[in-house]
Amino acid sequence: MKVTVLGVGELGVDDTPGAVIKTFALGSCVAVMVYDLKLKVAGMVHVALPDSSIKPARAASLPGYFADTGVATLFRLMARFRSGMSGTRGLTVKLAGGASIMATHAGFNIGKRNTEAALSHLSALGLTPMSMQVGGSISRTVSIEVDTGRIVLSSPGRSDSVI
C-alpha cells in the first residue's frame, strides 16, 4: 500500500487506488483534507500558521505552511487531478487538528487561529467542512484513504476515531 507522509507545511494529492495520505502529530497545526468521491482523488495540507504575511519567503518555498497559501495551493493541485476542473463541485472537505495547550491566554491559541483561517479560506471558495475534529488539548495524527475518503484520527493513549 502506498502511504505518503506529509511533514509540516507539506501538501499532497493522490488518485492511486489503495493509497493513503498521512500526517503525524498535528499539535496546533491544522490538516485540511479534501476528497472527490466520484473521481476518487484525495488531498491534504498540513498548515502550521494562519497567515503567510509573516514570512512570504517561507510561503514561496513551502506554501502549505500557511492557511492562506496552503488552501489555495491544495485546490490548484486538486484541479490538476480533476482534468483541470477548477471549481469545487463534487468536493467534500474535512478538518482536523488546531489543538492548544491548557491556557486561556489568547495569544497562545494558535490552533484556534489556524482553524479559523482555514475555515475562512474554504468559505471564500464556497466550501464548508462536512465534519471536523478540532481544538482541545489533543495532538492528532490523521490519514485519508484515496479509495473511500475515510479519515482516521489517532492520538497516543487514546482510541482511534473516524470523521
- Answer whether 101's CB lies under 8 Å from 135's CB: no
| Among residues 3, 90, 108, 123, the one that binds other proteins under rule CB under 8 A | 108
Per-residue x/- mask for other proteins, residues 31 to 60, rule CB under 8 A?
-----------------xxx---xx--x--
CB of 41 or CB of 138, closer to other proteins: 138
C-alpha–C-alpha distance, residues 47 and 159, integer Å: 24
Please identify, among the stretches 34-42, 81-89, 98-106, 123-131, the one whose residues bind other proteins according to the rule CB under 8 A: 98-106
The answer to the question of residue 64 lying near other proteins (CB under 8 A) is no
Give the burial class of 58: count Cβ atoms within 10 A of its Cβ; 0-12 exposed, 13-18 middle, 19 or more buried.
middle
The answer to the question of residue 104 lying near other proteins (CB under 8 A) is yes
Helix (H) or strand (E) holding 72: helix 67-81
CA atoms within 13 A on the CB side of 132: 17
| Among residues 43, 64, 70, 111, the one that binds other proteins under rule CB under 8 A | 111
